[in-house]
Amino acid sequence: MAELSIEERQIYDRQIRIWGMEAQSKLRSAKILVINFNGTTSEIAKNCVLSGMSLDILDDKIIEQPDLNNFYLRNEDVGLSRGEAGAKRIQEINCLVKVSQTKNADGNYQVVVFSGDTANCADINRSCREKHIPSYYVFNSREAVLVIADLIHPSGEISYLSLPEIIEKIPSFLQTKKKKPNLRFYAFLLALYCKFQSLPLENAPPTFIDDQVLKPLSEQIFFSFTQEFYPSLSIAAGMVTQDIVKLITNEKAAYQLFFFDANDSVGMIESFSTQSKAKTSLLADIEISEID
């Protein structure tokens, strides 16, 4: 592994003091793929390049006026692809890394990050697993945001459930009674399941929570799906980037699922492995940590 240049040591001085020269060298060698350049992934991309990682952006959607809610897109970008304009803006943040637009996901990537609708998530996850690439999936619904990580080891060792496996387990989890359930978390899972399965909410699976309590919350989340709220997405982006740094530098990743809701400013972290497949609960035998 090549040594860091004098310029790199100066720019990354504070980071090197935190995680060391070797870790910073690993970050310099890493390459991240960002799929869809929305508000969430733009913040993750910014955080990654500031940490010293290079990245590609895969997004051929043509920029329209509503896309300008993204802080990194400007009026003069209308008519360009989000990948092209996004790569240009993120590259300006750190000249020591390389940021490019890509037309496919065939590169040699250490991590893949996706944010958007559920349409192609399962295919992306399947492709990442075949290539032994850890991947993150960020789902937004205004103030609420859910991050699901599939941190398959580069050697091919699988220690996390795949995204489809998690979705498949949601109905049984929603029927397992909890003493103090986070209602918006449960509502988000219910809405996410219906999105993945293309189900209308009236055909949603039953839960142990009264429908009159849970269904209105699920409707809010369902019909606001993919809408972003910057305070929430910024927190989620920070969590994802922190976890990516741990992955690249060979530290243990912290979670497979992170949920944050700005309505009560509480975050939930969950960690579970393939051992929970035999359980009836999605997050069986796992202690829930709350962040106030």
Running along the chain, 292 residues long, what does each successive block of 10 average in pLDDT? 80 86 92 97 97 97 94 95 97 96 93 95 94 95 96 68 92 88 94 96 94 94 96 96 91 80 88 44 38 45
Helix (H, G, I), strand (E, B) or coil at 113: strand
Q: How many CB atoms lie within 10 A of CB 206?
A: 10
C-alpha distance across the termini of the chain, in Å: 40
Distance separating alpha carbons of residues 225 and 145, to the nearest angstrom: 10
CB 6 within 8 A of CB 50: no
- Residue 220 confidence (pLDDT): 96
- Residue 281 confidence (pLDDT): 34
Q: Which residues contact 70 (CB under 8 A, 6 or more apart)?
A: 37, 38, 39, 42, 82, 86
| Domains of the chain in sequence order | 6-161+227-277+287-291 (3.40.50.720), 165-223 (no CATH)
Structure tokens at 216: 């209105």
- Residue 153 confidence (pLDDT): 64
- Residue 160 confidence (pLDDT): 80
Distance separating alpha carbons of residues 82 and 36, to the nearest angstrom: 8
Distance separating alpha carbons of residues 16 and 18, to the nearest angstrom: 5
Helices (H) and strands (E) in the chain, counts: 10, 9
- Residue 155 confidence (pLDDT): 60
- Residue 39 confidence (pLDDT): 96
- Residue 156 confidence (pLDDT): 61
Q: How many CB atoms lie within 10 A of CB 89?
A: 20
- Residue 65 confidence (pLDDT): 93
- Residue 17 confidence (pLDDT): 86
Tell me the β-bridge partners of 58. Answer: 35
Say what the alpha-carbon torsion angle 95, 46, 242, 153 is, to the nearest 10 degrees. -80
Distance separating alpha carbons of residues 17 and 147, to the nearest angstrom: 29
CB 118 within 8 A of CB 196: yes
Distance separating alpha carbons of residues 200 and 198, to the nearest angstrom: 7
Distance separating alpha carbons of residues 173 and 209, to the nearest angstrom: 12
- Residue 18 confidence (pLDDT): 84
CB 272 within 8 A of CB 286: yes
Helix (H) or strand (E) segment spanning residue 23: helix 21-29
- Residue 136 confidence (pLDDT): 96
Distance separating alpha carbons of residues 256 and 171, to the nearest angstrom: 18
Spatial strand order in the sheet of 257-261: 99-101, 54-58, 31-35, 111-115, 135-141, 144-150, 257-261, 266-270, 289-291
